Amino acid sequence: MEKKREPSYLTFDKDSYAWKPDIDYHKEQEKYRVGKGEQGVLICEPYKSKLAPHWRFKTPDMARNSSAVLYSMFEAYLKAGDFVGADMARKFLQMGYTRARRYANYKAGIKYDRNNDYALKEKGTGDPSKAESAAIFYEKWKQAEAHPEYAIRRKAWREQYG
């Protein structure tokens, strides 16, 4: 029997989540956790408010511009010695990839069918142009992760803070 899959937001426990919306992560950087993937990306202020206005993937041209701006912000944060800002910019690049892929795979980006016990919808019903947007973000995301200074700082941060 196949295990029932349901979206994680249905059972999300915000009290045990490492990222909190009432923390200023620029002032209290030691409270920031790298985590897995994009965790905390839409919570950690003031970075979310600085990065989110530049995050767009609707068309490949928008994705190209957005990923270039976010990557330049990533580099600026690194240069300023702000690992948290750099990691958040990297997370926005990753999220550009994952969200564009979702819209490429599923019509309107809707992965689960609410009316059918949250069954996974059929892939291949989405917008093909989003696949190009995803590829653009993927390249910049991987470029950020491979940045030598970022890799060193990320390893040190995880060892010190988690």
User: Does residue 127 lie in a domain region?
Assistant: yes
Q: Helix, strand or coil for residue 2?
A: coil
Question: Is-contact 44 88, C-beta < 8 A?
Answer: yes
Q: What is the Cα–Cα distance from 40 to 119, expressed in whole angstroms?
A: 26
User: Does residue 88 lie in a domain region?
Assistant: yes
Count of domains in the chain? 1
Q: What is the Cα–Cα distance from 79 to 147, expressed in whole angstroms?
A: 12
- Which domain covers residue 29, as residue numbers? 20-109+123-160
User: Does residue 6 lie in a domain region?
Assistant: no
User: Does residue 65 lie in a domain region?
Assistant: yes
- Which pLDDT value is given to residue 37? 87
pLDDT single digits (tens) 46-102: 999 999 999 999 999 999 999 999 999 999 999 999 999 999 999 999 999 999 998
- Which pLDDT value is given to residue 121? 64
The mean pLDDT value of the chain amounts to 89
- Which pLDDT value is given to residue 56? 96
Q: What is the pTM of this model?
A: 0.85
Kindly list the distances between the CA atom of residue 20 and the CA atoms of 27, 35, 50, in Å, as whole numbers in the listed order: 14, 13, 17
User: Does residue 117 lie in a domain region?
Assistant: no
Q: What is the Cα–Cα distance from 19 to 34, expressed in whole angstroms?
A: 10
pLDDT single digits (tens) 3-20: 556 667 667 777 777 888
113 pLDDT tier (thresholds 50, 70, 90): low
